[in-house]
Chain A
Amino acid sequence: MIVLGDRLPDLMSDELRRTDTVYDIIVSGSHLYLVCGDKGMKCFTISY
């Protein structure tokens, strides 16, 4: 089972909107990041 959990504070900006475009995805340890270009990254927890 993989659980995508709470959204954490964004990196670089806390103003990212849900509709901001996403260019890449990174999974590292217990975090998942959505790369939104130069606006920053949305960050989520992830657990297994």
Chain B
Amino acid sequence: MTLSSLDIDEVCRRLRGAGIAIRTGPFTFRIRSPIPPVAIGFAFLYADYPLVDGREFIDFDVHLAFGVGLRRWIRPQVRFCYDGMSPFEPLPVGHAVPLLEWAMNWCISSQAHQYLILHAAVIERDGMAAILPAPPGSGKSTLCAGLMSRGWRLLSDELTLISPNDLSITSLCRPVSLKNQSLSVIQAFEPGARFSEVTHDTVKGAVSHMKVPRSHLDRIMQRAKPAWVVFPKYVKDAEARLTDRSRASSMLELGRNAFNYTLLGRTGFEPLADVVSASDCHDFEYGRLDDAVAVFDSLAAARRQ
């Protein structure tokens, strides 16, 4: 049974009370919130995710609460609460939907240390994964959204989860975060894409989340093997240009982009070295998504031969 089996009134009622538990990839989340837009955003973005019944272990209990004191009423705020902690500063209540996504990411990146976790998008074709590490604003999520609209499967637009023992990459398959101009770019590129309501004036600008197509969720349990590490950079109107990057430099950059490399120690070092050894490493500059898709398709075709 998926979340879509509950009507919006029931979603609101349950979120106000004991919460709703869903599964996304290897993790279970229980979401609780009395804030109506959270219910609307959650019901829309996670409609096709399986509900988890009360007997299963819940990995992360995410509670988005109203601000305290006057902040309940005057310029109201939303607080993310987790195990009695509030790890983030409260935000304006209008930012509650993106906060839900950021909070879920935080839960995984700060605690799922059974994986080496990279701050990188990751997509799959023919069982082979392309890891796309890049700083915010480099076009990583836009590229990821574009590729997943053209035959590549989404594993994650934000967190690459690598199993240290076999290097397999686990799918999270959560909504894709798009910001500012990226929204109109993807709307034009994939008219069938569906988005949550845009939240304006966040720390990242205008933010919306792209819903993950059902066909990607149907394969959520299929892992992939690393085949490429590509450092993307969007440059307006630039021709697509793929250049080789040394494995050493790629490994250092991946280490810099890892959430838990220091924590894992040698358990992180070995898989990081193995991922880089098993992958073709590139820098990639692009200005148009059609060109980018063609380049990635040619990478996949070359591997198939």
A binds B: no
Could you tell me which A residues sit within 8 Å of B by CB distance?
Answer: none
Which residues does B use to contact A, with CB under 8 Å?
none
